[in-house]
Chain A
Amino acid sequence: MPDTGAPLLRAHGVTRRFGGLAAVSEVSLDLAEGAIHAVIGTNGAGKSTLINVLAGEIAITGGSVELLGIDVTHWPQPKRAQAGLGRSYQRTTIFPRFSVFENCRLAAQATHQVPWNWWTAAADCPKSTALAREALDRTGLAGLADRTAGLLSHGEKRQLEIAMCVATRPRVLLLDEPLAGMGAEEAQRMVELLNRIKPTHAILLVEHDMDAVFRVSDRITVMVNGAVIASDVPAAVRADAEVQLAYLGEVHV
């Protein structure tokens, strides 16, 4: 049940240095269930690096990460994923030759791996097939289940990637520019999808589409040169003079 009290993911003073460059510097943020927390900033502000550090894909230099109350700062990525952390990538990361259904089923299999059972067909695995079907229903892709993933439209592929995350039953989702390269109609469908999965997940959203960000977010954090310059509800961020100077002014909202 939604526990609105404690955040599901808590980043505290997260820092990542590449040599002398601090790509992410002292970033602290909380992700709560049922809320979308957007992180915006210009290219090179460190948004993707932040996601990579939180997901455990690149090592942290300083600070700590807490997932569901457990310190996961030094856990490898698969272990964090097992503990309930899902992520999508800026470049679509799916299995292009598999069917849409198998994409979701294989992702869901991560929750119930039984690798030693070599004689039972994966297609007969009741747990992963049930999870996959549920994820496709929730994300509105059920009608495309038998299609080859690589032949989907760009927007559908992006949706599939989210469906694959949902299939692993995560509590926290880190989404790296899910609207990248989408037309207005596709973007609208994605926004609807985000709103549909929001109640049961804590979502961190990195996105360049300001229109969508201000529409779906419950909270916005603004990053410049790896550091947080503002973090507040959308209306307050929009009004912030420093943010307007550093970022929004150029984009023209």
Chain B
Amino acid sequence: MMATIRRLFVPLTVMVLLFAFPLATTGFYLEFTSKVMILAIFALSLELLVGATGLVSLGHAAFYGIAAYATVLLSPKFGAASVFWLLPAAVTCSALYALLVGALSLRTRGVYFIMVTLAFAQMAYYVFHDTKLGGGTDGIYLNFKPEVILFGTKLLDPGKPVALYYVVLVSLVLVFLFLAVLLKSRFGRVLAGIKSNEQRMRAAGFATFPYKLAAFTLAGALAGLAGFLVAVKDGFVNPEMLSWHESGAVLLMLILGGMGRLSGAVLGAFAFALLQLFFQWEVVFGNFAKHWPLMLGGTIILCVAFMPNGLIGLPAQWRARRARKTTEEARA
């Protein structure tokens, strides 16, 4: 009982604070937090592949960007679409592309898998970058944000930052809980087994390919949810959302936060975004602030060197060090 309370204390506190946050602030910080929570959903979707299944994909932004483009391109030009068909449609587009990419890339392993996923993402990137389909390099605007209307009542207006904030927060909580339950299920344990020792899984009688494909498609669909939310929030999409920078950034969030734990992905998204914001701060860094990627990169290298298990692994790391010190003292 006490252990359960202690285990849930931090996540519940964070959740309560996030729910209360709009009471304290508006404007930039609210929008910034919305954006970071969307990135957290995106990071969680990649965590299902990298942390849970051991599949390092460097093309995850494709699924994020495709759903975002689908949200804009499927919306009618003159009027608002209903969330209840637009969201499933956008997520389905990402899931289908993930199914295709997964079916082909999961036949490879290790560095080849990284390269094939990257290639498929770049392919999608250049489709939007070099064709008129989505306005080319300029991107394209979402003229009307989708409506949330059920039985003739308007439930909320995603055009309002506070309403959108809560939509994103609830989505994040639901995705987190869904993945937490999923990873404990038989399906989730198979993914953990594949990550740990795929050879043993096949020897035990698991056909691992369909499991990996299911995980890849699901991860693509969840990245699609994040893409949908960001398109609705910003009302604008451009090809850079699909670029390998974005795929790399979300991978860095996982590395920073700590892989193998869902909370690591969320923490990583917040840490990454806050570091980025901090290094862009001209009050502190003056002109050097425009070199923020340099400082961010350096910080991440230091983090990897000194926190092998990411931010989420820090308490355990400290505990281990203290335990080591105590035994050394006892020996001395």
Residues of A within 8 A of B (CB): 55, 57, 76-79, 81-82, 86-87, 89, 93-98, 102, 106-107, 109-111, 113-123, 125, 128, 164-165, 168
CA of A164 to CA of B206 in the docked complex: distance in angstroms?
13
Contact yes or no, B184 A164, CB < 8 A? no
The 9 residue pairs across chains A and B that have the minimum distance between CB atoms:
A81-B205, A110-B205, A95-B196, A122-B189, A110-B204, A107-B204, A78-B207, A82-B205, A122-B186
CA of A94 to CA of B198 in the docked complex: distance in angstroms?
10
Residues of A within 8 Å of B184, CB to CB, are 121-123
Q: Would you call the interface of chain B mostly helix, strand, loop, or mixed?
A: helix
B214 contacts the other chain (Cβ, under 8 Å)? yes
Residues of B within 8 Å of A57, CB to CB, are 202-203
Contact yes or no, B207 A125, CB < 8 A? no
Contact yes or no, B204 A118, CB < 8 A? no
Contact yes or no, B203 A115, CB < 8 A? no
Contact yes or no, B204 A122, CB < 8 A? no
Bitwise, B189-229 to A at CB < 8 A (1) or not (0) is 11011001101111111111011001000000000000000
Q: With A115-B190, A118-B188 given, name 5 new contacts (CB 8 A).
A: A77-B203, A96-B196, A115-B211, A117-B185, A118-B187
A163 CB → nearest B CB, Å? 12
A200 CB → nearest B CB, Å? 18
A-B contact pairs, 14 of them (CB 8 A): A89-B199, A95-B196, A95-B197, A97-B196, A106-B189, A106-B193, A107-B204, A116-B187, A117-B185, A117-B186, A119-B181, A122-B186, A122-B189, A125-B186
Residues of B within 8 Å of A120, CB to CB, are 185-186
Contact residue among B186, B189, B202, B210 (Cβ-Cβ distance under 8 Å from A81):
B202
Contact yes or no, A106 B204, CB < 8 A? yes
Chain B residue, CB-CB nearest to A167: B204
CA of A6 to CA of B187 in the docked complex: distance in angstroms?
37
Contact yes or no, B200 A109, CB < 8 A? no
B182 contacts the other chain (Cβ, under 8 Å)? yes
Contact yes or no, A107 B200, CB < 8 A? yes
A79 CB → nearest B CB, Å? 7
A65 CB → nearest B CB, Å? 16
Chain B residue, CB-CB nearest to A111: B205
Contact yes or no, B204 A115, CB < 8 A? no
Contact yes or no, A122 B188, CB < 8 A? yes
Contact yes or no, B196 A78, CB < 8 A? no
Contact yes or no, B202 A109, CB < 8 A? no
Contact yes or no, A77 B202, CB < 8 A? yes
CA of A121 to CA of B193 in the docked complex: distance in angstroms?
15
Contact yes or no, B202 A122, CB < 8 A? no
Contact yes or no, B189 A109, CB < 8 A? yes
Q: With A76-B207, A78-B205, A115-B187 known to touch, is A164 a contact of B196 (CB < 8 Å)? A: no
B103 CB → nearest A CB, Å? 17
Residues of B within 8 Å of A94, CB to CB, are 197, 200
Contact yes or no, B186 A98, CB < 8 A? no
A177 CB → nearest B CB, Å? 15
Residues of B within 8 Å of A89, CB to CB, are 199, 203
Contact yes or no, B202 A78, CB < 8 A? yes
Contact yes or no, B190 A113, CB < 8 A? yes
Residues of A within 8 Å of B203, CB to CB, are 55, 57, 77, 81, 86-87, 89, 93, 165
